[in-house]
Amino acid sequence: MGRPLIVFLTGAGISTDSGIPDYRGPNGLWRRDPDAEKLVTFDYYMADPEIRRRSWRLRQETAALGARPNAAHQAIADLGRSGRAGVRVITQNTDGLHQEAGTPPNRVLELHGSSRAVVCTRCGDRTPMRDALDRVTGEPGEPDPPCRECGGILKAATVMFGESLDREVLSAAVAVAGEASLFFAVGSSLQVYPAAGLVEVAASGGARLVIVNAEPTHYDPLAAEVVREPIGTALPVLLDDLKVCDTE
């Protein structure tokens, strides 16, 4: 037998301790301001320059928060570095905080893309988000910066509503979930596709399932362990215990 494979499926809940709002959650921006959802809906975004200007402003405000990885991101990265198990991360988040914490980028599958990059909707040119935001706030500012290669509309390299998930990322996630010996679902309500399906794949592949989430999920009955404590404190303890078990 090879090393055990530990897979983490992470959602917005792991990043709220880093100050990144949970847009979909009960107090999320999209509940308070339904209009805000248009900012991340592909058709509205493409059709309306004002939506794009608002979207870039929101990106700028989010970037200005300077979110840093928290203890939970760090604990996952540390576990990977320990070399005791193979560690893979499948995330619904676009914030890049797993990678910033030290999990190698080739070990992170971003189901909803990355808000650290920008992609041209016409030619596909991919550039850093930082560069685009510098243009937005520059002097004179470009409130809706066009692609420098072709003049096309730029957008964050995230999967907007109305766009499909990346097939390659999705099939890699399914494969990884199926090979997991231990599967942690962290900070995700597990209500949306494909997160829910990945839990099923992992469970039917024989993984031990651990759910760390503030609210109950549909999959709690399948879990060997359900943890409701705050993720930033609970996950480091859970993963420390894992290291101890390994050495025994």
Q: Which of 31, 57, 122, 208 binds Zn ion (CB under 5 A)?
A: 122
- Compare residues 79 and 154 and give the one whose CB is closer to Zn ion: 154
User: Of 94, 93, 76, which is closest to residue 84 (Cα–Cα)?
Assistant: 76
Which two structure tokens, joined as six digits, stand for 80?
């990977």
CB 15 within 8 A of CB 93: yes
CB of 152 to Zn ion, least distance (A): 4
147 is a contact residue toward Zn ion (CB under 5 A): yes
Least Å distance between CB 150 and Zn ion?
A: 3
123 is an interface residue for Zn ion by CB under 5 A: yes
Sheet holding 113-120, edge to edge: 126-128, 113-120, 154-158
Tokens of 34: 């339904």
Q: Which DSSP category does 20 fall into?
A: -
Range in contact with Zn ion (rule: CB under 5 A) among 1-9, 27-35, 113-121, 158-166: 113-121
The answer to whether residue 112 is catalytic is: yes
Minimum Å gap between C-beta 118 and Zn ion is 10
Cβ atoms within 10 Å, residue 30? 18
CB-CB neighbours of 210 under 10 Å: 20
Contact status: 149 vs Zn ion (CB under 5 A): yes
Q: Which of 21, 86, 152, 178 binds Zn ion (CB under 5 A)?
A: 152
Q: How far is the CB of 122 from Zn ion (least distance, A)?
A: 5
Q: Is 65 in the site for Zn ion (CB under 5 A)?
A: no
DSSP state, residue 40: G
Q: How far is CA 69 from the centre of its chain?
A: 12
Q: Which residues are catalytic?
A: 112
Residues that bind Zn ion (CB under 5 A): 120, 122-123, 125, 147, 149-150, 152
